[in-house]
Amino acid sequence: MLILSPSILAADFSVLGKQIKEAENAGAQYLHIDVMDGMFVPSISFGMPVVSTIRKISELVYDVHLMIEKPERYIEEFARIGADIITFHLEATERPQEVIEQIHGLGKKAGLSIKPATPVEAVLPFMDKIDMLLVMTVEPGFGGQSYIPESTQRIRQARTLFEERGLHTDIQVDGGITVDNVHVVLEAGANVIVAGSAIFKGDIGSNTEKMLGAFKEFQGI
């Protein structure tokens, strides 16, 4: 199944709730929530009060992308305030296995993310334990960057590694995805598509419909 996960990092925070509803009403299935700590990535975005507040207004699947050092410190808190999927970075912890178990122990789906410079093979020990692999298609930290072309091969490699193990795990892509290049990542094997600027800059409803239309076109529907 192809899934759209609009990233609120590109939203207008003065009307965040309204903008989330626009994307939801137009058919988005997930909501991508980028949490940054100013350590793992240079920027700081937002934290628990924002996530728990917006949780109340939507039925979307809350897809929380933790760009924070030692994510094990905060898994319980994000689960408690309503995250459905919790994705952390392989580069941010010495205990990825334990973090996955922590997330599953709280009844949530576990996502594992790798930055563009991390070899895809680094996720091999965790492939059969995670619900989603996030292959970053830009350097994490900021919205509005351009897709890194080398990502295509990395997505393909990840899809092949899952297939070789008989796994149908979700592959998420995040960064620089637009209605014009989304077919490239879909063709390579991604099925959960994060889009920030492409959804929240301009008319959110029509941007969402266009992206979902591109999914259908790819599927030949």
Active site positions, annotated: 34, 174
Left (φ > 0), alpha (ψ -120 to 50) or beta: where does 202 sit?
left
Q: What angle do CA 123, 4, 60 make, to 5 degrees?
A: 100
Q: Residue 111 interacts with ligand DX5 (CB under 6 A)?
A: no
Which residue is at the shortest CB distance from Zn ion?
65
Q: 87: which residues sit within 8 A by CB, 6+ positions away?
A: 63, 64, 65, 66, 110, 111, 112, 113, 132, 134, 172
Minimum distance from CB of 188 to ligand DX5 (Å)?
17
Smaller CB distance to Zn ion: residue 34 or 37?
Answer: 34
Q: Residue 9 interacts with ligand DX5 (CB under 6 A)?
A: yes
Q: Residue 96 interacts with ligand DX5 (CB under 6 A)?
A: no
- The 29-48 site mask, x for binding ligand DX5 (CB under 6 A), equals ---x-x--------------
Total residues at interface with Zn ion (CB under 5 A): 3
Question: Whose CA is closest to 199, among 185, 180, 171, 179?
Answer: 179
Minimum distance from CB of 196 to ligand DX5 (Å)?
3
Stretch that binds ligand DX5, among 48-56, 74-82, 84-92, 188-196 (CB under 6 A): 188-196
Q: Which three-class secondary structure state does DSSP give residue 209?
A: helix
Smaller CB distance to ligand DX5: residue 101 or 116?
Answer: 116
170 binds, among ligand DX5, Zn ion, none (CB under 5 to 8 A by kind): none
Q: Residue 65 interacts with Zn ion (CB under 5 A)?
A: yes
156 binds, among ligand DX5, Zn ion, none (CB under 5 to 8 A by kind): none
Q: With 0-12 CB in 10 A as exposed, 13-18 as middle and 19+ as buried, what is 218?
A: middle
C-alpha distances out from residue 85 to 67, 99, 157, 209, 216, Å = 14, 13, 23, 24, 24
Binding footprint of Zn ion on the chain (CB under 5 A): 34, 65, 174
